[in-house]
Structure 1
Amino acid sequence: MGHFGFSYIGLIFLLMLFIPNIIWTKKMPEGYTAEGENRILALCERMGEVLVCCCALMFSDFNLQGWTAWTGWLAAAIALMILYEIWWIRYFCSERKLKDFYSGILHIPLAGATLPVMAFFLLGIYGRVIWMLIAVLVLGIGHIGIHLQHYRNLNQSMR
């Protein structure tokens, strides 16, 4: 279920998530708008964001617990977050067009949305925190769903 206590790993993951997103607010792709987003997906995204942030910080189960078979889940989550940072660097070095923002990396589609969701899900598995897994599922439905909606709209407008 999870042990209450501060998680430094959760804080590191949140910093890896928020810092590029804060920079992005100054370097948004040309033509980006949140208009027309599905309201249910947006609600799931917002609820998921709050729940994931709370879970990441308040369960000490995410902190390094020595080297066990479960450490592989943490290593995989860290690898996905590093790949997420690489994706952001690639985006910031690009022309910053919508196609760049909705790009994939290493055959992972919509990497800006899918990588952090997958990383936090693996973190939930590592910590064995069901609340994180539920929060990430809510977040993933909303966040990936919205990005998929934008991506489909972009592809239709390019035809």
Structure 2
Amino acid sequence: MLGHFGFSYVGAIYLVMLFVPNIIWSKHQPVGYTSDGENRILSVFERIGEFAVTCTALIFSDFNIKLDSFWSLWLLISAIFMLLYEIYWIRYFRSQKMLEDFYSSLLGIPVAGATLPVISFLMLGIYGKNIWMLISVIILGIGHIGIHLGHKKQLNK
């Protein structure tokens, strides 16, 4: 449960799937987007969670593919959520890039751009039976999802 040190190629793939759309997004932000007024406590949680999830995903070999047990089902579920995250981004980039598009849901999952990767990494942590990923992703989720829900609430006013 504590983890086995070693490079995780699955973690690296997930991080590429996470970072590439975000890099593209930096040039295609929604009209009227600003991070002004974000809750400082949630921002601290988000930053700590981002750092911790990134490091944990790379330094523990627990996330590499092992098809020898029922735990592989958790990896499959995790991969499905990461693929849904990519679908969310494709839909966003094909949209008019409005705030409504950015904070939209996907298949009933609210603020999908924030929620889907958090769920994906949570499932990855369960698959790897890695407490550090589970702790890291909970911290990330509190901050990241919380911030996005706050923006969505402001948008709906």
- The within-5 A match list for 1:129-148 is 129-148=130-149
Tell me the SS of whatever aligns to 1:116: helix
CA distance in 1, matches of 2:155, 2:16: 29
Instruction: Please give the root-mean-square deviation of Cα atoms over the aligned residues, in Å.
Output: 0.5
TM-score, normalised on structure 2?
Answer: 0.99
1:109 aligned partner: 110
Work out the percentage of aligned pairs sharing the same amino acid: 62
In structure 1, stretches of 5+ residues that fail to align are none
Deviation at 1:47, TM superposition (A): 0.2
TM-score, normalised on structure 1?
Answer: 0.97
1:52 aligned partner: 53
- The within-5 A match list for 1:78-97 is 78-97=79-98
CA distance in 2, matches of 1:37, 1:66: 42
CA distance in 2, matches of 1:36, 1:118: 26
Deviations, residues 17-68 of structure 1 (Å, cap 9, x unaligned): 0000000000000000000000000000000000000000000000011231
Deviation at 1:90, TM superposition (A): 0.2
- How many aligned residue pairs are there? 156
1:35 aligned partner: 36
2:100 aligned partner: 99
2:121 aligned partner: 120
CA distance in 2, matches of 1:154, 1:129: 37
CA distance in 2, matches of 1:65, 1:90: 32
In structure 2, stretches of 5+ residues that fail to align are none
Partner amino acid, structure 1, of 2:139: V
Partner amino acid, structure 2, of 1:39: R
> Is 1:4 matched up with 2:5?
yes
Tell me the SS of whatever aligns to 2:78: helix
2:62 aligned partner: 61
